[in-house]
Amino acid sequence: MSVDTASPATLAGVGIGLRARHLEEVLAAHPPVPWFEVHAENYMGGGMTRRALEEIRRSYPISLHGVGLSLGSADGVDRQHLRRLRALVEWLDPAMVSEHLSWSSTGGVYLNHLLPLPYTEESCGTMCRHIDQAQGVLGRRILIENPSSYLRFRHSPIPEPEFLAELAHRTGCGLLCDVNNIYVTAQNLGLDPVVYLDALPSALVEEVHLAGHARNDAGGRTILIDDHGSPVSLEVWNLYRHAVARLGSLPTLIEWDTDIPPLAVLQDEAGRAERILGGRLLTGLHASAA
Partner 1 sequence: MPALREVQAAFRDALLGGDDSLAAAAIASDGMRPDARLRIYRHHVFATLTAALKATYPVVCRLVDERFFDYAADCYIRARPPSVPCLFEYGGDLSEFLGAFGPCRHLAYLPDVARLEWALNAVAHAEDAPRLDPARLHAIPQQAYPGLAFRFDPAFRLLSSPWPIDRIWWAHQPSADPDSTVDLGAAGAALEIRRVGGDPVFRSLDAATHAFRRALVEGCCLEAATTDAFVADPGFDLTGAVRSLLADRVVTDVALATLGDHPEG
Nearer to partner 1, 30 or 113 (CB): 113
Which residues are registered as beta bridge partners of 209? Answer: 178, 253
Candidates 35, 36, 60, 103: give the one binding partner 1 (CB under 8 A): 103
Is position 214 an interface residue for partner 1 (rule: CB under 8 A)?
no
For residues 138 and 110, the answer to whether their CB atoms sit within 8 Å is no
177-206: which residues touch partner 1 (CB under 8 A)? 189-190
CB burial string 38-60: b at 16+ within 10 A, e below: bbbbebeeeeeebebbeebbeeb
Residue 151 makes contact with partner 1 by CB under 8 A:
yes
- Tell me which of 22, 81, 213, 228 binds partner 1, using CB under 8 A: 81
Q: x/- binding map, residues 235-264, to partner 1, per CB under 8 A?
A: ------------------------------
Q: Does the protein bind partner 1 through residue 220 (CB under 8 A)?
A: yes
If the CB atoms of residues 152 and 246 are measured against partner 1, the closer one turns out to be 152
- Pick 155 or 286: Cβ nearer partner 1: 155
**Minimum separation from the CB atom of position 68 to partner 1 (A):** 3
Half-sphere exposure of 286 (CA within 13 A, CB side): 6
Report how far residue 253's alpha carbon sits from residue 191's, in angstroms, rounded to the nearest whole number.
24
What is the rounded distance in angstroms from the CA atom of residue 163 to the CA atom of residue 28?
A: 43
Half-sphere exposure of 165 (CA within 13 A, CB side): 13
Tell which one of 29, 48, 245, 285 touches partner 1 (CB under 8 A): 48
The per-residue b/e assignment along 111-139, b for 16 or more CB within 10 angstroms, e otherwise, is eeebbbbebeeebbebbbebbebbbeebe
Residue 60 C-alpha from the chain's centroid: 18
Closer residue to partner 1, CB minimum distance, 111 or 264:
111
Q: Output 183 or 240, the one with its CB closest to partner 1.
A: 183
Query: Residues in the site for partner 1, rule: CB under 8 A?
Result: 1, 41-42, 44-51, 67-70, 72-75, 78, 81, 103-113, 115, 117-118, 120, 122-123, 126, 150-155, 189-190, 216, 218-221, 223, 225
